[in-house]
Structure 1
Amino acid sequence: MNQRWIFDGHIAGIGTASGLRAVVGLWAQSPFGPLTDAMVQLPSGHRILLAPTEEAGSFIGAVYNFDETRVVPLAASLAAGQLNVDAGPLRIRAGLGGRTRLGGAARLVPRALAVHPRWLRAVSPLAARILPGVHTAGTAKGGRQEYYGVTDLHRIDSASVSWDGTDAGPLAAIRPAVGFGFSSVPPEPSLARVRTTIEGAPVTPR
């Protein structure tokens, strides 16, 4: 029997000059309660999931593609235009900028429509043309269907990022696109207000 899971909150996408790229989810609502997770792609291409619990790591790893999963303490805050993330070896201090033109357009769509799977299937080809690598609907692992309903988008104008205590370099475009699933984050570092919907077969531990 198919099931549906909802993650509602924010996704931050950050690239660095060293080639390290990070996608951080700050979820006010998830199947596990409030949750922060981080997906990191090293300059070598090695993909690491940083999860707060074994349960969350097993679920996320059953939907997305990783070479390694680590359960680490995670702490994140988003307030007053500042994003702070401490996730094991990953440390981010990022300053938010203004709303993007796409964010302004997204806010014009009623939220109930903007996060609905039928709408997201319809607009996914347009999203991919506007932001290469970005899709709002697609297939996840296990044949599950996944939908990203973005209702706002802000620039990330500055960031200090380190991995294992080593500075990852200044903020840079997220190129090449991250390879955790069917969709990437926008090429330019940004923070999206998003509702992620996953539908399909029950997720079983790895």
Structure 2
Amino acid sequence: MCGWVSRCPARGRVEPGRTGTGGAGRRGRTLRFEGWIAGLGTTSGTRVVLGHWQRSPFGPFSDVMLERPDGERLLLAPSRETAEFIDGTYAFDTVRVVPVRVGVADGVWTVAAGPLRLRFVTGRRRPLGLLLRAVPAALARRPVWSALTDGPARLLLPGVRTRGSAGAGRREWYGARDLHAVRALCASFDGAGLGALAPVDPPVRFGFGSVPGRPSLTRVTTTVRLADG
């Protein structure tokens, strides 16, 4: 058991259903997010997707998407603005605005997000990660690159898509630039342990694609093109 499981805080503020139009004032723009995505499964059946964005239109921030064993899709976001944008791009049953704090040291990631406490350890870079590191940042941002890599991604990483349609008429594409294995995890939700690390199975259903089935940490550039007003 994690040493801090019993100290999980009470629930954050609940914002049930969809929170709004997701940044209507930004229509027609292309927004870019650069950072890391961790896709994690647990033996309890809860799957977790952490987004840790070092550069974004909202400044640096982190968010967490969870899918519970009963199918509930939950978003934990640090502000109403980020919650509305993410909820307008993906699909959730429940959205909560809560503090989301992420720490990284020597390959150990610690996350505190409302009812969720999470600690995971990254392993060595995967062979695919060695190839992805050679992708120039400027190329990873281009739609043509995501179009070229979508087929190989589907073949090598079942469930993964590098481009597709999102909510509110938006288009989205991903450019991966690194890939590490995750080798250990300790997590709790509302004080209850979530079990050990497991594959992300079944795939998560937030958007047009899932994360890799094997728990992993991916460096990525995510671009969202908003629908014209």
Would you say the 8 A contact 1:115–1:150 is kept in 2?
A: no
Aligned match of 2:221 = 195
Would you say the 8 A contact 1:150–1:195 is kept in 2?
A: yes
Would you say the 8 A contact 1:94–1:156 is kept in 2?
A: yes
1:84 counterpart letter in structure 2: T
Aligned match of 1:94 = 120
Q: How do 1:134-173 residues align onto structure 2 when only pairs under 5 Å count?
A: 134-173=160-199
% identical equivalent positions: 47
Whichever of the two has the greater Rg, that structure is: 2
1:5 and 2:31 correspond: yes
1:117 and 2:148 correspond: no
Would you say the 8 A contact 1:23–1:40 is kept in 2?
A: yes
- Superposition deviation, residue 113 in structure 1: 1.4
> In 1, distance between residues paired with 2:56 and 2:139?
20
Q: Deviations over 1:13-42 (max 9, x none)?
A: 110001000001111111111111000000
2:143 counterpart letter in structure 1: P
Q: How do 1:55-70 residues align onto structure 2 when only pairs under 5 Å count?
A: 55-70=81-96
Q: Which runs of 4+ in 1 moved over 6 A?
A: none
1:40 counterpart letter in structure 2: L
> In 2, distance between residues paired with 1:22 and 1:150?
19
- Superposition deviation, residue 110 in structure 1: 2.3
TM-score, normalised via structure 2 length: 0.86
Segments of structure 2 that go 5 or more residues without pairing to the other structure are: 1-26
2:119 counterpart letter in structure 1: R
Segments of structure 1 that go 5 or more residues without pairing to the other structure are: none
RMSD: 1.3
Q: Alpha carbons of 1:70 and 1:108: their partners in 2 closer, same or farther (altered >3 Å)?
A: same
TM-score, normalised via structure 1 length: 0.95
2:181 counterpart letter in structure 1: R
SS state at 2:89 partner: coil
Would you say the 8 A contact 2:140–2:221 is kept in 1?
A: no
1:46 to 72, 75, 78: 72
Q: What is the number of residues matched between the two proteins?
A: 203
Would you say the 8 A contact 1:14–1:172 is kept in 2?
A: yes
